[in-house]
Amino acid sequence: MTVSRRDFLKLSGTAAAAAGLTVIDYDLEPAKAYAQTLRIKNAKETASICPYCAVGCGQIVHSIDGKVVNIEGDPDHPISLGTLCPKGSATYQLVVNERRLSKVKYKAPNSDKWEEKPLDWAMDRIANRSAMITNEEAYLLCKLNRALGVVYLEHQARV
Ligand code: SF4
C-alpha cells in the first residue's frame, strides 16, 4: 500500500489530535496540588519579605530542620496578597544555590591586600555601618545640599 504525502499528513494530524484529546481529558492539577502539599508537609512556616525590591511583597518560607524547602507568596500579606513577580518567585533559587557566595573579599583601610572573610562577618559590618543618621538629619543634609545647588541626591533608603 502506498501512502501519499497528503495521506501521511492527514494521518499525522488525526493522531496528534487524538493524543491531544487524551492529554486534555487527564487533569493533572489535583496531582500537582497534592505533590506540593507533600513537599511542605510538616515544614515550619515563617513569614518573610521578598529581599529584592522596595515593593516588599510578603513571602512564606517553609523549612524543615532549619533547611529551606520552599518559598512562596504570602496570601495574608496586605499589599501583595500572595502574588510575587517572576523575580520574587525565584527567591528559593537565591537561597538554595550551590553557587551562592559564602565568603567575601575585604580590603582594610590603608591595606594593600585583600582578605577573605566569612559572609556573616560582612553582614554584621554592613548592618553596623549603614543608615547611621536619622530621618531628621537626612532632611537637614538634603536641605543643605539643595542650598549648595546639588540637584540629584541619593540615599540608600531612598526616603
Ligand atoms: S516579588 Fe517582585 S515586586 Fe515583590 S518585592 Fe519581590 S522583586 Fe519586588
pLDDT at 41: 87
pLDDT at 14: 77
pLDDT at 158: 55
Q: In this structure, are 35 and 71 located in the same domain? A: no
Tally of domains in the chain: 3
Domain membership flag for residue 152: no
Q: Is 52 in the pocket of ligand 1 (CB under 6 A)?
A: yes
What are the 10-residue block averages of pLDDT along the chain, 159 residues in total?
A: 79 72 72 82 94 92 95 96 95 92 93 96 88 83 93 68
Domain membership flag for residue 142: yes
Rounded distance between C-alpha atoms, residue 2 and residue 8, angstroms: 10
pLDDT at 126: 87
Q: Distance, CA 72 to ligand 1 centroid (Å)?
A: 12
Amino acid letter, residue 156: Q
Question: How far lies 120's CA from each of 22, 26, 127, in Å?
Answer: 53, 49, 11
